[in-house]
Homo-oligomer: A and B are copies of this chain.
């Protein structure tokens, strides 16, 4: 079992390393990264009759909520999903639809049309980390996760990077809106650039001590953008809390993520 997990981890790193655009660098100075807000409820234990594939259906359709870890019996399933073709294909189905929608937009052309990208599991992939931590079946550990974030080596999700380039080419500006905290602005900017996301209109991070849910925080930031005269034409994320709430934007796009849940 441990051997298998190791092989997966290795496969993850090998698979993803090709997506990292710059060579390995020495780790930057440590920053304290605002932990991703995961729920502290129970959850993660679907009734025994529910298959892992159907548990994932429930998760991805926002029916199964508030879980803290992938059910232990689904670790293998989620690992195979994430490292196999399916995760990439599901991502591609979503971003292809997003690109087609973007192409059909009538833009204001005043430089105020924006597309919102979430960061973790949307623009940048933490799969190299999660491959070493049970694909979400292990309890969230902010220390090791922050260590990973601070390496600044998260690769791009290739499908999202393609969409990013597409919307920029159409004259839409990009706003990154993330649950990461202000203290990680520098490493996050560096990681984004390194992964191929070279420009943005805004990089919005959570303020210190902000205890709101992701849904409330992101809704509030989007409303602020609107007040500043921006028109949110599209919005893409891997969590429902990225795309539900207020000022969602002209269309929302939900990327796959069966590894964790944020509300």
List A residues at the B interface (Cβ < 8 Å): 46-47, 49-51, 53-55, 57-58, 60-65, 86, 89-90, 92-94, 96-98, 100, 251-254, 256
Contacts and interface: CB of A to CB of B under 8 A. Distances in A.
Contacts of A62: 252, 254
Given A46-B93, A53-B86, 18 more contacts: A47-B100, A49-B96, A53-B89, A54-B86, A54-B92, A54-B93, A55-B93, A57-B90, A58-B90, A58-B97, A61-B61, A61-B256, A62-B252, A63-B97, A63-B252, A63-B253, A64-B93, A64-B97
Contacts of A58: 90, 93-94, 97
Given A50-B92, A55-B93, A89-B53, A61 B60 contact: yes
Going nearest first, the 3 A-B pairs with the smallest beta carbon separation are A54-B93, A61-B254, A54-B89
Nearest to A240: B61
Contacts of A256: 57, 61
Given A86-B53, A86-B54, A94 B47 contact: no
A92 B86 CA distance: 22
Nearest to A97: B64
Given A57-B94, A63-B94, A64-B97, A89 B254 contact: no
Contacts of A60: 57, 60-61
A215 to B, nearest CB: 13
